[in-house]
Amino acid sequence: MRTQFPCKVTLSIDGRRVATKKGIHSKDPNDPGQVVGVVILAGKGEAERAITAAKEAFHGWRDTDPHGRAEYPFKAGAVARKMRRELAPLQVCEVGKN
């Protein structure tokens, strides 16, 4: 698992992955020299694009049947369960339990 570090978490704006030059480094508390993940930070431009995209998507989401909206958390949970063998080691290292 360590060869896959750091895990990079990009922004998602209007369905597209967005990377910037700034990020927050999440370090292994057991080994502070080991960066476990990098979470990309948004600047003003990215925030404005995200707000615009959210406003444009709002009416479609608002008009979506509540049962259809409720499916999204279940789909996310299914993806997380499929990825559990990849996610568990990352979570363990991030909290220093290795």
- CATH code (residue 6): 3.40.605.10
For the full predicted model, state whether its pTM sits above 0.95.
no
Instruction: Residue 57: give the domain boundaries.
Output: 2-94
Residue 23: Cβ within 10 Å count: 17
Q: Which band of pLDDT confidence, cut at 50, 70 and 90, is reported for residue 3? A: low
Query: pLDDT tens digits, residue range 54-87?
Result: 999 999 999 999 999 999 999 999 999 999 998 8
Is residue 11 within 8 A of residue 20, CB to CB? The reply is yes
Q: How many CB atoms lie within 10 A of CB 92?
A: 14
Q: Structurally, how many domains does the chain consist of?
A: 1
